[in-house]
Amino acid sequence: MNRNVITALLGVILGVLLTLVVMKMLPDRKFDGDYNRWRKLNLILQEVQKNYVDTIDMVAMTDAAVSAALAELDPHSVYLPPVELTESEVELAGNFEGIGITFNVPNDTAIVLSAIPGGPSEKAGLMQGDRIIKVDEKVIAGMKTPQDSMIRLMKGPSGTKVKITVNRDGALIPFEIVRDKIPVHCVDAAFMIDDTTGYIKLSKFSRTTYKEFREASAKLLDAGMEHLIFDLRNNTGGYFDQALMLSNEFLQKGEQIVYMEGRERPRQEFDADGRGSLKDIRLSVLIDEGTASSSEIFSGAIQDNDRGVIFGRRSFGKGLVQEPINFTDGSGIRLTVSRFYTPSGRCIQKPYDKDYAYDIYERYAHGEMTSADSMKVDTSAVYYTVKGRRVYGGGGIIPDVFVPIDTTKATRFFINCNKKATTVRFASAMFDKYKRELAEIEDFDKLTAYLESIDLDSQFLEFADKVDGIRPAKGEWAESRVYMMPQINALVGRYSKLSDEAFHRFYIPIDDNIQTALKHQQ
């Protein structure tokens, strides 16, 4: 269909579709003029279908119109075609077979948003921001390949292989990935850091979150946990009820968790019932710019009730409540109907204006990731915690203790290795070489001793030189080693039976957020 014709039609029907949304939310009011415009839309579509010069894909045309209409509301009111709706539900509720990534397709190129922790893509080395050029030998970038076609190309039965070629900072890098069942577990790791400090890393709020968290925390309590470091960094949220149940674990009876309110939704408050099993455990919560939605509900409840200390950087700022409305063709919309508010009255949602999609980039550009003084704080929106501490609105959760990104460790050698995913591909090579030995190790101390015995330092430098042509300058490895070897040990150690536990445990010495939380309790 001619692009100008589509644009014109969308302009005509946009206001009508918005009226339909309003009529659905306010069924008892009369909208005679708007109703006539809705009839006009039907007439327009009938005339187009009956008289347009070429064959018309009415499904695509309708989908485009709905998407354009919802885009005028807020960033989180969206239309989901059948494939996308199924994907969104499966990610939070079950297992699927594939390579384990999420991506979007701006400007006709699929860009990796995240590699599912522990999944095939993450283990192979795919990274956030990679632009997918080819799947096997089929070029999908710049070819107007439909998103559902991309998904079908990447998905497949467990055990089958697929080659994904990506563009990373101008370099084409091929990855051979073995498809697998992608478990939608949300507790990535749970272990004791020392005799009294436990650590739990939560990746999302799925249907199994509360169950998994309860099982993990019970084991840590049995091991002597008195202080919990709860890691919600890059946790994009999920099911609201799971955030409520997790918050309830830590709060006293009657303490408010969150409330929600919308134009056509009366205020609804959610309070703790006092039955939680972790009410007396010291709590440190780690957040960052990727912490969103349900993660912010939890963090806000802990902060406003003065129940624990929040460490890290300002969270994402997603506090809109979406109501699912599904249709018989398998598609659906997620319509924003309310806003979340923390117990002190703060609205979690950041302003959504023309720069909403680029907010994270703006934070980096303005120095917010490296300096607390550069953080945008709406000092006019002052609220108070239960104990009278000042907290601020304006979107997101501002941490009690700011932990910046440390850019001083990024040597030229480290940057070059990172660009080519040298460390990740080296870990895969070490797995091929030592997989029998690694497969038998279940104890972290034994794993540490084994990795030291095989001289990973020298092997990595040799691999970087021979495979990627990267060599450290004089004295550069001594500077880089302190930061890079824990990463290398973590990546190789993940191939042992300890899996992600090994990965996170090796990272602890160089994780500034965890180290700050540990020092803070002393």
Residue 235 within any structural domain of the chain: yes
Is 448 found in the same domain as 484?
Answer: yes
Q: What is the mean pLDDT of residues 285-304?
A: 96
Residue 311 CB: number of other CB atoms within 10 A?
A: 24
Q: Which residue has the higher pLDDT, 27 or 134?
A: 134
Is 227 found in the same domain as 106?
Answer: no
At 33, the pLDDT band (50, 70, 90 cuts) reads low
Q: Are strands 227-231 and 320-326 parallel, antiparallel or unpaired?
A: unpaired
Is 461 found in the same domain as 495?
Answer: yes
Question: Which pair of tokens denotes residue 420?
Answer: 């080519």
Is 246 found in the same domain as 353?
Answer: yes
Q: Are 31 and 23 in contact (CB under 8 A)?
A: yes
Is 283 found in the same domain as 242?
Answer: yes
Is 384 found in the same domain as 306?
Answer: yes
Question: Which pair of tokens denotes residue 259?
Answer: 């409330």
Is 434 found in the same domain as 394?
Answer: no
Residue 149 within any structural domain of the chain: yes
Q: Return all residues near 61 (Cβ < 8 A) that are at least 6 apart.
A: 1, 6, 9, 45
pLDDT at residue 146 is higher than 90: no
Burial 70-107 (b: 16+ CB within 10 A, else e): beeeebbbbbbbebbbbbbeebbeeeeebbbbebebee
pLDDT at residue 354 is higher than 70: no
Residue-wise DSSP of 433-488: HHHHHHHT---HHHHHHHHHHTTHHHHHHHHHHHHH---PPTTHHHHHHHHHHHHH
Q: State the distance between the two ends of the chain, measured CA to CA, in whole angstroms.
A: 67
Dist. CA 346–CA 382, nearest whole Å: 9
Angle at 106 (CA atoms; ends 100, 110), nearest 5 degrees: 30
Backbone torsions φ then ψ of 163, nearest 5 degrees: -105, 120
Is 496 found in the same domain as 354?
Answer: no
Point out the domain boundary residue: 39, 72, 105: 72
Tally the domains of the chain: 4
Residue 144 within any structural domain of the chain: yes
* pLDDT 10s digits, 222-277: 999 999 999 999 999 988 999 999 999 999 999 999 999 999 899 999 999 999 99
Q: What is the DSSP code (8-state) at residue 189?
A: E
Backbone torsions φ then ψ of 390, nearest 5 degrees: -80, 135
Nearest Cα to Cα of residue 496 among 414, 419, 435:
435
Q: Are 497 and 442 in contact (CB under 8 A)?
A: yes
Question: Which pair of tokens denotes residue 59?
Answer: 């499904």
Annotate 442-453 with three-state secondary structure. CCHHHHHHHHHH
Is 139 found in the same domain as 206?
Answer: no
Instruction: Let me know if 396 is exposed, middle or buried by CB neighbors in 10 A (0-12, 13-18, 19+).
Output: buried
Is 124 found in the same domain as 68?
Answer: no
> In sequence order, what are the beta bridge partners of 181?
97
Point out the domain boundary residue: 124, 147, 182: 182
Residue 518 within any structural domain of the chain: no
* Region class of 396: left (phi > 0), else alpha (psi between -120 and 50), else beta: left
Helix (H) or strand (E) run with residue 86 in it? helix 82-93
Residue 327 within any structural domain of the chain: no
Residue 115 within any structural domain of the chain: yes
pLDDT at residue 35 is higher than 90: no
What's the CATH number where 260 sits? 3.90.226.10
* pLDDT 10s digits, 60-89: 888 887 888 888 888 888 888 887 777 676
* pLDDT 10s digits, 148-179: 788 888 888 889 999 999 988 788 999 999 99
Nearest Cα to Cα of residue 517 among 229, 233, 232:
229
Helix 412-419 and helix 422-439, axial crossing angle in degrees, nearest 10: 80
> Lowest mean pLDDT: which of 37-46, 166-175, 296-305, 368-377?
37-46
E strands within 2-85? 78-80
Is 199 found in the same domain as 160?
Answer: no
At 17, the pLDDT band (50, 70, 90 cuts) reads very low
Amino acid identity at 14: L
Residue 321 CB: number of other CB atoms within 10 A?
A: 20
Owning domain of residue 23: 3-72
Angle at 384 (CA atoms; ends 383, 385), nearest 5 degrees: 135
Q: How far is CA 354 from the centre of its chain?
A: 22
Point out the domain boundary residue: 378, 402, 426: 402
Residue 82 within any structural domain of the chain: no
Question: Which pair of tokens denotes residue 271?
Answer: 């309070």
Residue 335 within any structural domain of the chain: no
Dist. CA 371–CA 228, nearest whole Å: 26
> Lowest mean pLDDT: which of 77-81, 376-380, 383-387, 512-516?
376-380
Q: Are 167 and 107 in contact (CB under 8 A)?
A: no
Helix (H) or strand (E) run with residue 291 in it? none
What's the CATH number where 156 sits? 2.30.42.10
Dist. CA 38–CA 14, nearest whole Å: 10
Dist. CA 510–CA 508, nearest whole Å: 6
Q: What is the mean pLDDT of residues 404-429?
A: 88
Is 41 found in the same domain as 146?
Answer: no
Average pLDDT in the chain: 86
Q: What is the mean pLDDT of residues 399-425?
A: 90
